[in-house]
Amino acid sequence: MAFAAFSSTKSNGTSKPKKTGRVVIALLAPGLAYLGAFFLTPLIALIMVSLQAQDPYGGIGDYIPAFEINNYFLVITEYFPHMFRSFSYALIATILALLISYPLAYFIGVKARPYPLLQKLMLTLVIAPFFISFLLRTLAWKQIFSNESWIVTTLQDTGLLEADQYVVGTPFMVIFGLTYNFIPFMTLPLYTSLERLDTRYLEAGSDLYASPSKVFRKVTLPLSMPGIISGTLLTFIPIAGDYINASGDFLGSSSTAMLGNVIEANYLQINDYPSASALSVLLMGAILILVAGYVKKSGTEDLL
């Protein structure tokens, strides 16, 4: 893909001043070549590894090039629960992040407009979690909800939790962590969209006797749709592939393992490269379908 792009700019250069064509190639070539070498070809390598077969004469972790389509059927049957979990956790966490972020983004982007400095300070607070290590902030939640913490003992004392029930290791905790960790990815695009919202449209709506909720449904919501779509995409994708929150050392347990946990364990711990790669290819395929749907709706210029 990358190399096709260069040759096209070159041929395009004939109709334009020659110098411009050369400058464009010089500007684009190094970066695109880099992505070709370290993003695109690794994806091809991944597909090749996903089709490899166990070396009949080798030990654990020895594979030979092959065309084992069967690898895909095996991982789908074996890891269906993990796929289902990845998808459902990501869906729930994305919806929660949207519900939490929307009023916040609306406040920063619309209500706080007369105070630009306050807007900037609040935006800094939204991205503040990015500045503390992802792993440390996840571990902090683990400690806050640990079995000995006052939150859990209070819940047990009030009877909301059984005496032998805990929070860490449950799907609730994993979804809680996923929602928390990816909220800024939802709030920022929503803010960008709402910040551009022309409030005169809202006034027009209420002048025409629309109730506040109707103004929201018919005016605000449709106008902020680009932010909702890109926020959803930016949140859903990393969550679907995450393996920190669901890991047993962090917020999850073996019963909350997601696709990412399987890929990590199979690739790095038991050296089952083909199954890990097949799962990665399936995950990538699912994401590509999502992205394709998005591109069809909004085009490529808005992607970046």
Partner 1 sequence: MRLSLGKLTFPLYALLAFIYLLIPIVYTFAFSFNDSLKTNLIWRGFTFDKWTNVCQREGVCEAFGNSVLIGVVSTVAATALGTMIAIALVRYRFKFRRSINLLLFLPMATPEVVLGAGLASQFFNLGVQKGIGTIIVAHVMFCLSFVVVTVKARVASLDPVLEEAGKDLYANPRQVFWKITFPLLLPGIAAAALLSFALSFDDFIITNFNAGSEMTFPRYVYTAAARGVPAEANVIGSAVFIAAILIVLATQINGERKRRMLLKKH
265 close to 88: Cβ distance less than 8 angstroms:
no
Give SS3 for 54: strand
Q: How far is CA 106 from CA 54, 167, 179, 300, in A?
A: 55, 32, 19, 26
Nearer to partner 1, 41 or 70 (CB): 41
Q: How many positions of this chain bind partner 1 (CB under 8 A)?
A: 102
- Of 89, 141, 182, 191, which lies in the binding site for partner 1, with binding defined by CB under 8 A? 141
Torsion from C-alpha of 290, 291, 293, 294, nearest 10 degrees:
120
Interaction residues for partner 1, span 162-221 (CB under 8 A): 180, 183, 199, 202-203, 206, 212, 215
Nearer to partner 1, 133 or 165 (CB): 133
- In whole angstroms, how close is the CB of 127 to partner 1 at the nearest point? 8
Nearer to partner 1, 130 or 159 (CB): 130
277 scored as a contact of partner 1 (CB under 8 A): yes
Specify the stretch interacting with partner 1 by CB under 8 A; choose among 67-75, 153-161, 163-171, 230-238. 230-238
Q: Which string of x and - marks every residue 97-116 that binds partner 1 (by CB under 8 A)?
A: ---x--xx-xxx--x----x
| DSSP characters over 25-39 | HHHHHHHHHHHIIII
Nearer to partner 1, 159 or 299 (CB): 299
Nearer to partner 1, 35 or 162 (CB): 35
Q: Which string of x and - marks every residue 4-33 that binds partner 1 (by CB under 8 A)?
A: xx--xx-xx-------xx-xx-xxx-xxx-
150 scored as a contact of partner 1 (CB under 8 A): no
55 close to 64: Cβ distance less than 8 angstroms:
yes
Nearer to partner 1, 11 or 159 (CB): 11
Rounded CA-CA distance 285/280 in Å is 8
64 scored as a contact of partner 1 (CB under 8 A): no
Specify the stretch interacting with partner 1 by CB under 8 A; choose among 77-85, 140-148, 156-164, 167-175. 140-148
CA angle (276, 232, 2) in 5-degree steps? 60
- Of 243, 246, 252, 272, which lies in the binding site for partner 1, with binding defined by CB under 8 A? 243
- In whole angstroms, how close is the CB of 7 to partner 1 at the nearest point? 9
Residue type, 268: L
Best CA proximity match to 276, nearest among 246, 248, 236, 241: 241
Rounded CA-CA distance 222/197 in Å is 11
- Report residue 53: phi and psi, to 5°: -120, 155
